[in-house]
Amino acid sequence: MRTLVIGDIHGGLRALHQIMERAKVTKDDTLIFLGDYVDGWSQSPQVLDYLIQLKTTNNCIFIRGNHDELLLHWLKDNKDNLMWYKHGGEATVTAYEKVDTITKQLHVAFLLSLEDYYLDEKNRLFVHAGFTNMNGVKYEFYPKSFYWDRTLWETALALDTSIKPNDLLYPKRFTLYDEVYIGHTPVTRIGATEPVQKACLWNIDTGAAFKGPLTILDIDTKEFWQSEPLNNLYFDEKGRN
């Protein structure tokens, strides 16, 4: 039995199918999804349908991403957001023109059920973006940080590797958990297309919203599998490019 973590999908159902096949996922595997299931490619509603069905066969943990929250506001509260439109929301709104009311209600229920974070029995944290409280996620004053924060990742990138965890200058947030798995900020921004480890942080967002692949990683062995770059799978679409 494996525990597998999956990066940001952004409406790319074809890529999700590919990684599930390439990793040979079975019903015995636990699947932890890091959020941002929607916005970018044209199959956001179908991705949610797939995940809802997957939960009936697999032990799944679904983390909330910022794009999932934006979709919820639109579906539940009819709240438009022009900035959201420019960052993948327009493709999602267009896709939902063909979705019936009952399915939309199922999607709202799914989006409401998402978790802010997941902390396992081995002190490994799974969160979409990060957290800001120096004492950890259970003390976070600003819950939106779980799916909007970028300071945790930026701090990890800027960290002087000569500073050791017991040093007074070492960021306290990196001493709280054995490992932290995040998405949210694509590693393609630093020229990578595979998962990147910095300190205890593992960034699994390999740019599927843009021209990168979707990634699934075994958290125990660190073996990972990837889809084709999504602009190849959706060659007639722009995604978030």
Question: pLDDT value at position 79?
Answer: 74
CA–CA separation, 232 vs 22, rounded Å?
A: 17
Question: pLDDT value at position 214?
Answer: 98
Q: Helix or strand or coil: residue 149? A: coil
Residues of the chain under the 50 pLDDT cut = none
Question: pLDDT value at position 78?
Answer: 79
Question: pLDDT value at position 77?
Answer: 85
Fold (topology level) of 3-233 = Purple Acid Phosphatase; chain A, domain 2 (3.60.21)
CA–CA separation, 164 vs 171, rounded Å?
A: 10
Tell me the backbone φ, ψ of residue 91, rounded to 5 degrees: -65, -35
Show the tokens assigned to 146: 């779980």
Question: pLDDT value at position 171?
Answer: 96
Show the tokens assigned to 120: 């396992």
Question: pLDDT value at position 87?
Answer: 85
Question: pLDDT value at position 56?
Answer: 96
Question: pLDDT value at position 80?
Answer: 73
Question: pLDDT value at position 82?
Answer: 78
Show the tokens assigned to 154: 């930026």
DSSP 6: E
